[in-house]
Structure 1
Amino acid sequence: MKRLIEKHPERVVDYLAERLAFERGGVRLYEALLEHVEEAPEPEVRALATLLRRQRDEEREHVTWLQAQLEALGAGSHPHSARAELSREETRGLAHVILEGHAPLPHLLHALLAAELVDHAGWDLLVALADEAHDMEAQRALRQRRDEEARHLALCRELAERFAVQQVLDEPLRLPVTP
């Protein structure tokens, strides 16, 4: 991230801290959703656990990577910043929907979809910054994580669509079981 941090390293730290806060919240969202999915009476819903665990594990890797980047920049693994606080607040609202436990699964998946939309946009912004700075190393690392987030987002969209088809058109629920 040498070229990316040349002009304003503290601002880059702020953006990375924002992603870190959101990723930590994302891991919590996935863990809570996994509890609901694993306890579902329908076997096809329980089968989603494998896909959701994979995505949760990628979110965890994002946390680890971001912590390493922030530590390398001298910010520590729990930096406080305005953008990080904003991300914590955003994920609290989404976490409330999932952690409350009373909402039906399609609503929980909708909350996860909202989180993944924000998450993907955040990584996309970091990629754009690395592109503008012509920082090839940062571009590669950030694109990898953005591409993972794109897959997360695609699965969440597909799940939302399949539950909507079931609810609106009375079609059988057909859920993906493989990535």
Structure 2
Amino acid sequence: MADIVEKVEDYVTSSKISTRLLMDKLSEFLAVERGGIKLYQAALQIVQDREVSQKFREFFEQTKKHEAILTRVIRELGGDPDHVSPGAAMAEKKAKSLLETMTNSDGLNGRAAELNAIENIVIAETKDHADWEMIGKIARRSDNEKIRNVLKPAAREVEPEEDEHLNWTKEQMARLEFEMLSQ
């Protein structure tokens, strides 16, 4: 979540946001959500820790909801959710690479494969978290009322969940790594 000073600045500063560039960014953010769905699906096949598995199921469902919210946002702003911007194409490649290291873990098994899956989720959630912070920032700073009215409720709904996704997953990664090292 953006710190309080930055949020105050956002509310007293307005910016002209390029709709074309915004739509390209939202295309990228949508690709990140879609990649996240695939990563959670793969991680759920690997993760053995019951607590992590249960939480990942919850995060998987929330990520599907986030994808639907972004799809709706893009449509409401007059865009095409099937448009693949250059940033979206790169996000798809990154997700594929993370997925590849998760499904073909080259000799990792058991706890090591599980940790690798969780690390990949942390990497993906770090980007996803930053994307939703940016959506919130655009919603606060845009001088375009339509952009503000479409993005604000989406950011308000999703940002707290993204905070939890990133923070909880990082904590669990550290917990499981420590448990593995201290056996």
TM-score class, shorter-chain normalisation, is 0.7 to 0.9
What RMSD, in angstroms, separates the aligned Cα atoms of the two structures? 2.1
How far the C-alpha of 1:12 sits from its partner, in A, is 1.3
How far the C-alpha of 1:47 sits from its partner, in A, is 4.3
Query: 1:7, 1:157 → 2: CA distance?
Result: 33
**Counterpart secondary structure, 2:82:** coil
- Contiguous gaps of at least 5 residues in structure 2: 1-13
How far the C-alpha of 1:74 sits from its partner, in A, is 3.0
CA deviation profile, 1:120-152 (whole Å, cap 9, x unmatched): 011111211111116255223213212111100
Aligned match of 1:176? none
Q: May I ask how many residue pairs the two structures share in their alignment?
A: 161
Match of 1:65 among 65, 69, 72: 69
Aligned match of 1:11? 21
1:5·1:12 contact (CA, 8 Å) conserved in 2?
no
Letter in 1 for 2:79: A
1:93-112 mapped onto 2 (5 Å cutoff) = 93-102=97-106, 103=108, 104-112=113-121
Query: 1:65, 1:100 → 2: CA distance?
Result: 31
Show structure 1 runs of 4+ deviating over 6 A.
Answer: none
CA deviation profile, 1:26-55 (whole Å, cap 9, x unmatched): 000001111123xx4xxxx13432211110
Match of 2:130 among 117, 121, 127: 121
| TM score, norm. by length of structure 1 | 0.81
1:26·1:115 contact (CA, 8 Å) conserved in 2?
yes
CA deviation profile, 1:84-116 (whole Å, cap 9, x unmatched): 112112211211111225531111111111111
| TM score, norm. by length of structure 2 | 0.79
2:73·2:151 contact (CA, 8 Å) conserved in 1?
no
Query: 2:172, 2:138 → 1: CA distance?
Result: 31
**Matched residues, percent identical?**
24
